[in-house]
Structure 1
C-alpha cells in the first residue's frame, strides 16, 4: 500500500485449524483473562509466595535451608530468633523452597 506509518495486519486460518496472525505494530488487548487462563497453568510458574510457620532457632547460628530470619528479641544481646520457611505455589501445590 506504500504507507509505512499505517497499521496493517494479516490473518489466515490454516488447514490444521490454527490461525496465523501478523501485524506490523504492537497489539495491546483490553482484557488479559484469555491469556492468563491458557498460559499460566501451562508454564507451571510460581503463582504466589508466602512464609510458613515460625520456628525458634535459639540465640544464634543460621536459619535452616529455605528459611529466612523473621524475628529477633533482645537488647544488647540476642535472647531468641525465629525463622520461617519461604513457600511458593506452583500448579496449586504449596512447596518449601530448598535454599535461598
Structure 2
C-alpha cells in the first residue's frame, strides 16, 4: 500500500514541477527568439541580394545613398500597396 503524501511533500513536488515548467518555458522562448532571428537574417540577406542585383550596388555606402534617395517614393508605394490590399480584403469579406 502506498503511503499518502503530506501536504508539505505535495507542496514540494508542486514547486519542483513549477521550476521544471519555468525552465521549459525559458527554453521554448529561446527557441522562438532564435527562429525569429534566423528569419530576420534570411530576410535581410534576400532583400540585400535583390538590391545588389537590380541596382548593381557594390558598397554599403552606395546602398545607403540609394535607400535614402528612394525612401519617400518607396514609402508611398508601400502605403498604396497596403491600401489596395486592405480594399481587396474588405471586398472579399463583403462577398462572403
User: TM-score over 0.5 for the alignment?
Assistant: no
Q: Which has the higher helix share?
A: 2
Q: Which has the higher strand share?
A: 1
With a CA cutoff of 8 Å and minimum separation of 6, indicate the structure with the bigger relative contact order.
1
Asked which structure has the greater CA Rg, the reply is 2
TM-score normalised by the chain length of structure 2: 0.22
